[in-house]
Amino acid sequence: MQIGPYRLSGRVLLAPMAGITDRPFRQVCRTHGAALAYSEMVTSIPALQSDRKTLLRCDNRGEPGIRAIQIVGADPERMAEAARLNVERGAQLIDINMGCPAKKVCNVAAGSALLRDETLVARILEAVVAAVDVPVTLKIRTGWDLDNRNAVTVARIAQATGVSALTVHGRSRACGFSGPAEYHTIGEVKAAVRIPVIANGDIDTPEKAKAVLDATKADAVMLGRAVLGRPWLLGQIQRFLDTGDAGGLPAENERRGLIAGHLNSLHEFYGHPAGVRIARKHIGWYSRHWNHGNADLLQRIYQAADGRRQIDLTLQLLAPSPRDQAA
């Protein structure tokens, strides 16, 4: 798939997720199959552009592949300035968030709330595309609610304003993350525009990814929550799309090394004690997919205040049980 001057290596992308897709997690996912990995959303509020949290979210130093930053806001001039600033900071691609259903975002008329105002959508897209010399992509939902699906109209606006690619999460803002994804709407969007369309929503297995691509004719799929605790899923899906065989899980030692490396990267990226605290949620996600039922040890991991001890205990948790070794 081509986005502006960039030819992607595959058809499986990592979704931007607030509080999750920081630089350490993006690097893990790129290493294990993501053709493109977006940052968590970065505010366009001028007073927060030098805030520590904002700087961490847009930190892409040493990141392999295309450095993609997602920005969020509702004012065209502020969004254009945020895009320029992030390109100066190293972004090679700017994504615009018009898909987030969170109340704190929608309450300030940003994220998916923008879908109610197509004129403002056009103004924001025009301003951002004109402000930077890198590709601009857009992430949307199917509409504000089930009675107001306007994804096709917004897609046409995006194409007309120079947006390079479009991701559609197959639910309305009102649906949040509940109910089945509307793949038929994504298909309608794909049929209506010439720019690449990326399908997003409930894609959690290689077979599901292929079925969604077949049904929608989309150019790629984007995974979010399904990757938590199993970043290797991205590579399994790409292999399945390429060969029809997803292959097995990475070898146990490889998975353990991946997890230890990820935790160590979090500790280094955020420092102490923030890195240890932030790592806990990832340990919880990893343990869901690879846990031998040792609740006491998991609790000790959550209580660990030292990074090295946190990693050592996590590797104990993920070690084969005696029963597994006997088998």
Number of domains the chain is built from: 2
The reply to whether 181 and 286 lie within a common domain is: no
29 annotated active-site = no
The reply to whether 71 and 198 lie within a common domain is: yes
The reply to whether 85 and 66 lie within a common domain is: yes
The reply to whether 32 and 177 lie within a common domain is: yes
Q: Are strands 6-7 and 2-3 parallel, antiparallel or unpaired?
A: antiparallel
The reply to whether 98 and 184 lie within a common domain is: yes
Tell me the residue ranges of DSSP E strands in 154-196. 165-169
The reply to whether 41 and 184 lie within a common domain is: yes
The reply to whether 8 and 117 lie within a common domain is: yes
CA dist 255 and 236 (Å) reads 14
CA-nearest of 123, 63, 73, 130 to 96 is 73
pLDDT of residue 145: 64
pLDDT of residue 264: 97
CA dist 114 and 101 (Å) reads 11
Secondary structure (3-state) at 136: strand
Residue 205 CB partners (closer than 8 Å, separation 6+): 237
CATH code at position 213:
3.20.20.70
Domain boundary residue among 197, 226, 243? 243
The reply to whether 22 and 65 lie within a common domain is: yes
The reply to whether 135 and 59 lie within a common domain is: yes
Structural domain of 122: 2-243
CB 5 within 8 A of CB 34: no
The reply to whether 27 and 164 lie within a common domain is: yes
Local mean pLDDT, 10-residue blocks, the chain (327 residues): 96 95 96 95 86 87 90 94 95 89 53 83 97 97 77 97 95 65 94 98 96 98 96 97 93 92 97 96 90 81 95 88 40
pTM of the model as a whole: 0.91
The reply to whether 219 and 159 lie within a common domain is: yes
The reply to whether 293 and 150 lie within a common domain is: no
